[in-house]
Structure 1
Amino acid sequence: MNWGHKIIIVFVLFAAGILTMVTKSMRTRIDLVTPDYYGEELKYQQVIDGRKQAMNLSSPVVISQEEHTITLAFPKEMQDIPLTGNVLFYRASDSGQDVTVPVKSGLLILSKDRLHRGSYRVQMHWEANGKKYFQENAVMVN
């Protein structure tokens, strides 16, 4: 086999490899943090203000796990007042496994059946007495 045939074979193999990589990359699913990333970025000042408000509480929200449940216990000053907001269990590896739960009182109990095993970022947005609060924790669901 002469060198001309070898160059053609190398070129064909290279082109086939590039086409394979392009095909695989086009079929790969990419999960963004949020579909409206720019709009969420503009609202980030509310998160900063909410974190400051949460720092002024007597204690942070405590997240504990039992065998079948996850419990979120809000600080004592939040126990007897109505709360509004939500808790997002954000799964970075797969947005289809994100779970949002509304907050109505100072104690939230969630069944582990709603969550898959693995790492979550728990993002808590709530409002009480006209003040907005935000807290974020990492949780490993087992």
Structure 2
Amino acid sequence: MKFNWGTGLVIGMGCFIGFIMFFVIKMSTDEKYEHDLVVEDYYGKELHFQQEIDAEKNLNLFSEEITGNKTNEGYELIFPETQGKIEGKVNLYRPSNKKLDFALPLELTEGKIVIPEAQLIEGRWDISVEMTYQGKEVLFKKSITY
């Protein structure tokens, strides 16, 4: 059989297609390359987006801003002095791995809450505090790099 440019072109295209198919199959079947949605119920969450905007606007009920800083114990969120009780929960979301997401009840001690260092792995975290204050829903969001 004679080897000419047409035969070489067909062999080259076959090798290229095989190479691409190998990586497509490897990426879709290997568990270390997980492809998850950012949020499980994406469309349901979008329906409540206006409520989130209104809850973020209610942050002006506080006399000062909520601040946070890194301490030896973990990450500390400091709330301003308030006239009423604050109830809610603190959600921590890890964009790179949903298995690390967790929530804590909002239990203030001297106007602050500490997120334990043992639960925080280095990297980016999105913190959202959903709370009720003076009968209104309030939402505080912050992204940190721990």
TM-score range, shorter chain: 0.7 to 0.9
Q: CA RMSD in A?
A: 1.7
Deviation, 1:54, is: 0.3
Percent identity, aligned pairs only, is 27
* Correspondent of 1:94 among 97, 119, 137: 97
TM alignment of 1:1-142, pairs within 5 A? 1-27=3-29, 28-77=33-82, 81-105=84-108, 106-141=111-146
Say whether the 8 Å CA contact 1:82–1:104 is kept in structure 2. no
Say whether the 8 Å CA contact 1:99–1:115 is kept in structure 2. no
Write the deviation string for residues 5-50 of structure 1: whole angstroms up to 9, x where unpaired.
3123112212212212321342331232210011111111121111
TM-score by length of 2: 0.85
Secondary structure in 2 aligned to 1:55?
Answer: helix
Write the deviation string for residues 63-93 of structure 1: whole angstroms up to 9, x where unpaired.
1111232111111116xx4322211121111
Write the deviation string for residues 106-127 of structure 1: whole angstroms up to 9, x where unpaired.
4211211111011111111111
TM-score by length of 1: 0.87
Say whether the 8 Å CA contact 1:122–1:139 is kept in structure 2. yes
Number of corresponding residues? 139
- Paired letter, 1:84: E
- Tell me, in whole angstroms, the C-alpha distance in 2 between the residues paired with 1:123 and 1:31: 21
Worse-matched range after superposition: 105-114 or 34-43: 105-114
Give the unaligned 5+ runs of structure 1: none
- Tell me, in whole angstroms, the C-alpha distance in 2 between the residues paired with 1:118 and 1:50: 27
